A and B are shown apart, each in its own frame.
Chain A
Amino acid sequence: MSRGTILDLCYLVAAVTFILALKGLSNPKRARTGNFIAMAGMALAIGATFFQPGLSHIGLIVIGMVIGAVVGIPASRMVKMTAMPQLVAIFNGVGGGAAALVAMTEFLGFGGQKPATYVTLEVLVGVLIGTVSFAGSAIAFIKLQELITGRPITYPGQQIVNALLGIGAIGLVIAVLITASTPLLWALLAVSALLGVLLVLPIGGADVPVLISLLNSLTGLAVAASGFTLGNNLLIVAGTLVGASGLLLTQMMCKAMGRSLPNILFSAFGSATITSSGGSQEDRPVRSATPEDIGVMLAYAHKVAIIPGYGLAVAQAQHIARELADELESKGIEVFYAIHPVAGRMPGHMNVLLAEANVPYDKLLEMDEANPQLGQCDVALVVGANDTVNPAAREAGSPISGMPIINADDAAQVVFLKRSMRPGFAGIENELLFNEKTTLVFGDAKETLTKMVASLAAS
């Protein structure tokens, strides 16, 4: 066997480990093993690449890898779990950036000779998608880190500017295809970066789960494009797996929001607070209570559903929520968590957050599992969620119409932990707040829950 054949076999093994890792994710018990298998596969592929005939600059490669590892390992080890969405966004972005640079470098390596059309096309796709993903992820990171507002950023003529940039990018792609001009390729790089930034700016915080999975998918596709350019099957397989999975996840998230992808990307949803017809909503009576009252009320329940939202993550109240659940369980009260697919800032955010607080995963019910059970609940405790329980979604004519929601209103009593009467991200008044079954507890979720635990323990 030649060295090339052995290397290709190593790449094949690595491709299989990646598929096994994704397969492992079908079950929380096997998921971690799957991740280790993929790590081994990646190590094998990287190790094998050092033996590629004709590879020089080994020292430089090692230095680059050491720099990446020295920065990456501590960052990913030390960041708090609540900052996970940002971290996922930025690691996705650097991958897209790397894919764009690989395509770019490969093109420059042709040394002015005009390559075959399909090679140029692959390079262009890699540069365009990779750069959009890099720049878009960077802005998503900045938004999630709250370095700029999480609300949509809009300006007059935004759609037109984006459309022009899009047309410009396509025009440059065609121009480079014909001329194989390097300066025009640099121009494409710049336009793609700008496009990535401007596309993400108008996307609001609550829509970020869709955005992150889409960017993930884009990076995958950029890697696959680089795979075509370099003629490497491993890059094609890995990139395509990620691209396909990201698109599927994007589709699931859109369905969970009851909106189309173009609507999420281009409508700057949540930029304005929609004041509903009444106008005098704030004057309507709501029932509020102290955390201690709720603690006593919970002591008499048989079954309680906790419905978390992004507010739980903001208040970092996941640990105290778990303590409340423990306290309830020690009194023989059944507790489960009802998780909306788009609660939080990335797909599955609430599940990771609660897992961090050691909530067993069989207590985390998906919306479809949770909804039939809510009718049997004495209390539905809504912690930092709003739009995902808003009954307005069931009616026509609301911006969130058609979004599947958690049926908190099926429970005998609904308790909202809220900071204020401010509407949720979608800016729509929540009728459930005024429902006769509903009690509001104002204040910071963490403090409120702490008082509730104390009161529950005493009663």
Chain B
Amino acid sequence: MGDAILHNANLGYLTVFVLSIFVGIEVISKVPSILHTPLMSGSNAIHGVILIGSMWVLGTSHSTLTEILGFLAVILATLNVVGGFTVTDRMLEMFKAKPEPKKKEEEVAK
């Protein structure tokens, strides 16, 4: 019985999965091409949420081997999270700094 591909709990996860695909496509299709790099880097940071999974497998491990693998996973996932968010912020900070100098330039141009 445990071998069935679809029992209720799994169907729940599958539902979340399918709906997330639609949300993902819907949200991303509105991102303008000037923000494609921050989009990649931002979504990069988001998949760093695997850190939670890494914490869990390390925190519930019972052998040296799984402890080592879990520990490595925590390190890699942390790198992913902090690196992803920091890089994205650096990029977006640059995009943010625009409005004021831009107005000045337009005045000069006119």
Residues of chain A at the chain B interface (Cβ within 8 Å): 11, 14, 18-19, 21-23, 25-29, 31-32, 34-36, 38-39, 42, 45-46, 49-50, 52, 54-58, 60-61, 63-65, 67-69, 71-73, 75-77, 81, 84, 87-88, 90-92, 94-95, 97-99, 101-102, 104-106, 108-109, 111, 116-118, 212-213, 216, 219-220, 223-224, 226-228, 230-246, 248-249, 252, 326, 329-330, 332, 334, 339, 341, 346-349, 351-352, 355-356, 358, 360-362, 364, 366
Contact = CB atoms under 8 A, between A and B. Distances in A.
25 contacts: A26-B31, A28-B95, A32-B92, A46-B52, A49-B56, A57-B61, A68-B78, A72-B82, A76-B83, A88-B40, A101-B57, A101-B76, A102-B54, A105-B69, A111-B62, A116-B2, A219-B44, A230-B56, A233-B16, A245-B28, A329-B109, A348-B34, A351-B35, A358-B101, A366-B32
A99 B50 contact: yes
| Interface of chain A, main secondary structure | helix
Nearest to A97: B76
Interface of B: 2-5, 9-10, 13, 16-17, 20-21, 23-25, 27-63, 65-67, 69-99, 101-102, 105, 108-109
Chain B at the A interface: mostly helix, strand, loop or mixed?
A: helix
Contacts of B94: 81, 352, 355-356, 358
B52 A98 contact: no
Nearest to B93: A32
A108 B3 contact: no
A364 B3 contact: no
Nearest to B53: A102
Nearest to B59: A55
Most B CB contacts (10 A, CB to CB) among A29, A105, A334, A339 go to A105
A241 B80 CA distance: 16
Nearest to B36: A348
B64 to A, nearest CB: 11
B35 A28 contact: yes
B53 A246 contact: no
Contacts of B89: 32, 35-36
A94 B96 CA distance: 28
A35 B85 contact: yes
A325 B86 CA distance: 30
Nearest to B72: A101
Nearest to B39: A25
Given A94-B77, A108-B63, A38 B35 contact: no
| Nearest 9 CB-CB pairings of A with B | A68-B78, A244-B24, A348-B36, A64-B74, A240-B20, A360-B102, A55-B59, A347-B36, A101-B73
Given A68-B77, A117-B5, A339-B34, A35 B42 contact: yes
A220 B65 CA distance: 26
A302 B19 CA distance: 51
Contacts of B105: 326, 329, 360
B91 A355 contact: yes
A18 B16 CA distance: 15
Central interface residue in A102, A231, A237, by most chain B CB within 10 Å: A102
Contacts of B20: 224, 236-237, 240-241, 244
User: Which of A224, A236, A352 has the most chain B CB atoms closer than 10 A to its own CB?
Assistant: A352
A76 B53 contact: no
Contact of B37 (A55, A239, A349): A349
Contacts of A326: 105
Contacts of B95: 28, 31-32, 355, 361
Nearest to A102: B53
A102 to B, nearest CB: 4
Contacts of A81: 90, 94
Nearest to A349: B37
